[in-house]
Chain A
Amino acid sequence: MTTEFSKKLPEIMTRRSAESLLSRSGQAMTIIGVSLLALILGYSLWTLPPFSDRMVTLVSDNMAISGVENPVTAVLLNFRGYDTLLEIGVLLLAVVAVFSIAPSPALLATSPPSPMATLLLRLLLPFVVLVGGYILWVGSYAPGGAFQAGAVLAAGGILFTTVTARWHPLANKAIPFAMGAGLLIFVLVALATMMVTGNFLQYPETRAGMLILLIEAAATMSIAVILTLLFVGGEPGEISPAQGENKHTVSFNKENRSE
């Protein structure tokens, strides 16, 4: 019996279940490798050198000239403003890439929305806008800021597209400008500060708070529109729900797949 088992063992170890990409021996090796990584990282945690508060003192010493009172906002938009500029660029790049993959899927609401959903929308959306605006403004003084506010507004936008499933024709024309406004204003402010103070993204100290709020406002609108469009999942408004999504599709395969 043991010989039968030993004959079947290689087959058992290399057999693959449908849901996993690895055979059993592959799974075992992965578990061993991952546990080794966990042990190494845990050991590195135990042997960390004592922490210095150099960064904390650097930030708190320069809070007076940063123009805001929230250290995280100061770091995000003043001390490491270049990272935030590129992050907004990454968001724009992601939504352009999603646009280029396929036109947006047919929004699935085939019947007019229920009156309860419309009532919910009518009650919630003003508060969403209010809360988003407040979080944007309070980011200079307390936890908050552009990304949080943009995310809250995007949640309102997702609610809107899910319930009404319709695009206003004016929205289609405004979408490219809304998407690019954050990055555009950020870059314009950075170039303007370069002309005033001589360094890219170095704010003049008396105007720093106002410039940060300006950049954050444009970034909030941009982030809200981009995140809502990422949820929609494609370029909006190009298709009719009846036809499906093959009108503007580029065929990626050489063989002619009918879709």
Chain B
Amino acid sequence: MTVPNMYALVGVGLLCMGLYGLVMHSHLVRKILALNVSGSGVFLFLVALADQTPGPTPDPVPHAMVLTGIVVAVSATALALALACRIQQVNGTLRLSDNEPE
């Protein structure tokens, strides 16, 4: 197994673990954490594939895309956390529940 393939597999593993955490947890902040983990996994996958191009330097186009992706991910996380704080203020709890409305 060549080195970039190993990081690509790690990226796949992180994506799947993040997806599982996103679906499973009921606390909203944990969902946001899981979403960030799976985002990092996707970026790892992209850059690992970019490193596999033949030649001395890796492909700079996926690097630029991942850079954009990191900045967009942090702004989405900030918005999600602001919404979560607001939900906590309004509803008193951050845990989703399955209770049917009476």
Contacts and interface: CB of A to CB of B under 8 A. Distances in A.
Q: Do chains A and B touch in the complex (CB under 8 A)?
A: yes
Interface residues of A, number: 56
A42 B12 contact: yes
Contact of A45 (B5, B60, B96): B5
A227 interface: yes
Contacts of B95: 18-19
Interface residues of B, number: 48
Interface of B: 5, 8-9, 12-13, 15-17, 19-20, 23-27, 49, 52-55, 57-61, 63-65, 67-68, 70-72, 74-76, 78-79, 81-83, 85-86, 89-90, 95-96, 98
Interface stretch (A98-106, A126-134, A196-204): A98-106
Closest 7 CB pairs of A and B: A94-B75, A230-B78, A71-B60, A75-B64, A21-B26, A38-B16, A41-B12
Contact of B82 (A19, A234, A259): A234
A56 B89 CA distance: 50
30 contacts: A19-B25, A21-B23, A21-B24, A27-B24, A30-B20, A34-B16, A34-B19, A37-B15, A38-B13, A45-B8, A45-B12, A52-B53, A53-B53, A53-B54, A55-B53, A55-B61, A80-B64, A83-B65, A87-B71, A87-B72, A94-B75, A97-B82, A145-B67, A147-B67, A227-B74, A230-B78, A230-B79, A233-B82, A252-B90, A257-B90
A118 interface: no
A207 B5 CA distance: 41
Interface of A: 16, 18-22, 27, 30-31, 34-35, 37-38, 41-42, 45, 48, 51-53, 55-56, 59-60, 71-72, 74-76, 80, 83-84, 87, 90-91, 94-95, 97-98, 101-102, 105, 145, 147, 223, 226-227, 230-231, 233-234, 245, 252-253, 257, 259
A27 B23 CA distance: 9
The binding surface of chain A is classed by DSSP as helix
